[in-house]
Every structure is written in C-alpha cells, then in structure tokens.
Amino acid sequence: MQLLVPREFIVPELLEQPEFMLRPLRITDVVKDFDAVMTSVAHLQGIFGPSNDWPRPDLSFEQDLIDLGWHHAEFQMRKSFAYTVMSPDQGLCLGCVYIYRTSLAGFDAEAFCWVRASHAAALDGLLLDAVRRWLKSSWPFKSVAYPGRDQPWPAVDHS
C-alpha cells in the first residue's frame, strides 16, 4: 500500500478560519454533505475535470454515504485525505477539500476544493488561499498541484 504521507507524519485534524473550519470528512456528515452537493450540482460540474460527471443530478443519499465511507477509509489508510468545510458553528456544510496522490510531473500531491453554490462568491477564493497556505505550512509536500486552477486539464480526445 502506497501512503500519501509518511506513517510518522501527524495528519492535521483541524484548520480554523474566521469564515469556516476544515475537519476530516466522516460518514456522519452525510446529511449536511448531501445537502451541499445536491443544492450545487450545476455549480460543481467539472470540479474534477471536464470528463468527470460528479455530481450527477440523480446522485442518491445512499451513493453519497458510500462516497463518504470511501473517503473516510482512504483517510484512515493515509492514501488520500478528504475534509469537510463547515460553517464555524458546524451547522452547515460549505464544501469539501480533497488531497490526493498525483501523476502530474513535478508534484507530490494534488488538491481540489469546492464551496456550495450559495457561498461560492464569498468563500471560494478564501478557501483556496487557506488550503494553499495550510498544505505548504502543515503538510510534508514539496509541491502541490491544483488541477483546473493552476494546471490546465489534459486535452480530451473525442475521436
């Protein structure tokens, strides 16, 4: 099993900012996560690339629960890390942050983040800036890619 971070690295459990907080995404977040995703389907299309269809408009609650379970397990195995972006009082899921292994040359991880449509204008830039600083200061990565933001998506061959 290839780990994203060394075993001895203490994975951060919390990032607090005045506008939001990040903490590990758990299956118990499914109700709030599902609401954030389903109220933002059109806004989130393409967040993982132009050929990725997540989230589909017909995503079921059970499928979201399975996704969260997968993210939770990957986090525990240190293969990838998913964080929920919560309002400071944790009453509302504002989005998510994902840290994955990458195949992009010159990078040792890649990160994606999204904010629900209703809060995107105010929070997207703040979240991205906070994630960049956090990954640089609190994680063992030398260089993190932000596909679709800093790196263009690979060309898709439609032939």
The pLDDT tens digits of the residues spanning 111-128 come to 999 999 999 999 999 999
For residue 74, the surrounding DSSP H or E stretch is: helix 61-76
Count: domains in the chain:
1
- pLDDT at residue 94 is higher than 70: yes
The DSSP result for 7-31, as a single string, is TTS-----EE-SS-EEEE--GGGHH
Please check whether residue 31 is in contact with residue 76, taking contact to mean a CB–CB distance below 8 angstroms. Answer: no
**65 assigned to some structural domain:** yes
- pLDDT at residue 155 is higher than 70: no
> Whole domain around residue 73: which residue ranges?
15-145
**70 assigned to some structural domain:** yes
**101 assigned to some structural domain:** yes
Please check whether residue 114 is in contact with residue 41, taking contact to mean a CB–CB distance below 8 angstroms. Answer: no
Is pTM beyond 0.85? Reply is yes
DSSP-based helix, strand, coil % in the chain, nearest 5: 35, 20, 45
Measured between alpha carbons, how far is 143 from 159 in angstroms, rounded to an integer?
A: 34
**1 assigned to some structural domain:** no
**110 assigned to some structural domain:** yes
**8 assigned to some structural domain:** no
Residue 62 belongs to domain with CATH number: 3.40.630.30
**156 assigned to some structural domain:** no
**94 assigned to some structural domain:** yes
Residues 6+ apart with CB under 8 A from 106: 143
Mean pLDDT to the nearest integer, 89-104? 95
